[in-house]
Amino acid sequence: MTPRRAASGLALALACLLAAGPAAARSTDRDQPMELDADSQDCNVADVNSTCVFSGNVVIRQGTLDVRASRAEVVRRNGDIEQVILTGKQATMKQQMDDGTMMNASADRIVYEPNRQILTLTGNFKVESPRGSNSGQKMVYNMGTGQMQSGGDGTRVRTVIQPKAQAGSRN
């Protein structure tokens, strides 16, 4: 999986978290060039088992996808992306959905594991869309099964589901 596909997968996973209807991450975004800006980059592209680190004011843009973090690590094993780790106070992501609405997410740490199809948000996470919101200290989302787990660790989680009429009228 290329870094472009990994970021697109991350966006799609977050979008699916609150999709009560057919809305999905902007499908044309994954066909756009990806821009990664940071104060510094440290990466060994010749090693198939390496970690590329982007640090300081990291900005990743691809179409309507906009990711911001203090640090981004792309971990490769055998040439495949094993993990994308975004950290900061807070790492944020926003993207327009195919239906025109916006999805926003933030957490102190966002870990995307494309081969396992697992997305983990920890540290004051919040995912918001016109359909609703989910917030707490930790959320694990399995993109393959659609299973989302939050809380259960002694912390509280909060979910708000907007009425269908209200969710469809927001932008």
State the CATH number of the domain containing residue 9: 2.60.450.10
pLDDT 10s per residue in the chain (171 long)?
A: 455 555 555 555 544 444 433 345 667 777 888 788 999 999 988 888 999 999 999 998 888 888 899 999 989 899 888 998 999 999 998 888 778 888 888 999 999 887 888 889 999 999 888 888 889 999 888 877 778 888 878 888 888 888 877 655 544
Q: In terms of residue numbers, what domain contains 161?
A: 3-41+48-169
pTM of the model: 0.76
Contacts 24+ apart (CB under 8 A), 162-171: 162/130, 162/131, 162/132, 164/20, 164/21, 166/130, 167/20, 167/21, 167/130, 167/131, 167/132, 168/21, 168/130, 169/130, 170/101, 170/130, 171/100, 171/101, 171/102, 171/130
Count of structural domains, the chain: 1
